[in-house]
Chains A and B, each alone.
Chain A
Amino acid sequence: MMFDSLLSKFSEEQREKIQNIATRFNMKPSELIKRALEKPVKNTKEIDLEIEKLSKELSELTSIHAPLSSKVASLTFKYHELYQVCGSYSIAIMGLEAENQTLSNSLHVKYDNTLRKKEEELFDKYHKQR
């Protein structure tokens, strides 16, 4: 009732504005008015100045954050691709080493396993860690 009398104060244009703002914030017009009235009155110049200062700061931060974020995304993609290729290569090496060992045994020649440890480490690196 009291809210109705309060609303009757407004012109049609003002009521429409209130309705639009309230809709934007998913509120009822009464809720919007209540919230606006319950806030202590502040100096609008101070608010405007702070908005201006923060907008400038936001713009500066965004100019650093956005390209860095994009770079990190592209590096993540590149690393993922490289990781997959290294994983495939390490499997191929294990297969070739096994073949090498079999052939060496068949020929009764010494199997050269000097690089085997590093190859196994790489296999683990691209299959066990993530």
Chain B
Amino acid sequence: MFKIKLLQKGTNLSSDEIMQRIYIYLKEIELEQLRERVSFLKSDLPRLEASYKRLTQLIREAEEDYEWMAKRIVELEENNKRLREALMQRGKQ
């Protein structure tokens, strides 16, 4: 019923007027899409900023751990080498 009323309304309009209404409808769609995009970006920015801060902190910690472990591996390798040599010396004796 509603559709028929609309079409009746449409038959009272000229084709240019209907085309104009279609173009307005398209502009409204464009406007709605813009609103959605802007709203998404606004709401997503705090999440991204928090991720950026968290990742920067995690990387800083991981880099410190990496450096500490790299040094520790060298220390342990050297220590084990000394112990192995001592053990071999003891075996010879």
- Whole-angstrom CA separation of A79 from B17 in the bound complex: 59
Q: Which of B45-71 contact A (CB under 8 A)?
A: 45, 48-49, 51-52, 55-56, 58-59, 62-63, 65-66, 68-70
Q: Is the CB of B48 within 8 A of A107?
A: no
- Whole-angstrom CA separation of A25 from B33 in the bound complex: 13
Q: Is the CB of A103 within 8 A of B84?
A: yes
- Whole-angstrom CA separation of A106 from B41 in the bound complex: 64
Q: Is the CB of B72 within 8 A of A93?
A: yes
Query: Beyond A47-B28, A50-B31, A89-B70, is A96–B65 a contact (Cβ under 8 Å)?
Result: no
**Dominant secondary structure at the A interface:** helix
Q: Contacts of A6 on B, CB cut-off 8 Å?
A: 7, 10-11, 18
- Category for how many chain B residues contact A: 35 or more
Selected contact of B80 from candidates A21, A54, A64, A100, CB within 8 Å: A100
Q: Is the CB of B59 within 8 A of A69?
A: no
Query: Beyond A14-B15, A55-B34, is A39–B80 a contact (Cβ under 8 Å)?
Result: no
- Whole-angstrom CA separation of A37 from B34 in the bound complex: 22
Q: Which residues of A line the B interface, CB within 8 A?
A: 2-3, 5-6, 9-11, 14, 17-18, 21, 25, 32-39, 41-42, 44, 47-48, 50-51, 54-55, 57-58, 61-62, 64-65, 68-69, 71-72, 75-76, 78-79, 82-83, 85-86, 89-90, 92-93, 96-97, 99-100, 103-104, 106-107, 109, 115, 119, 122, 125-126
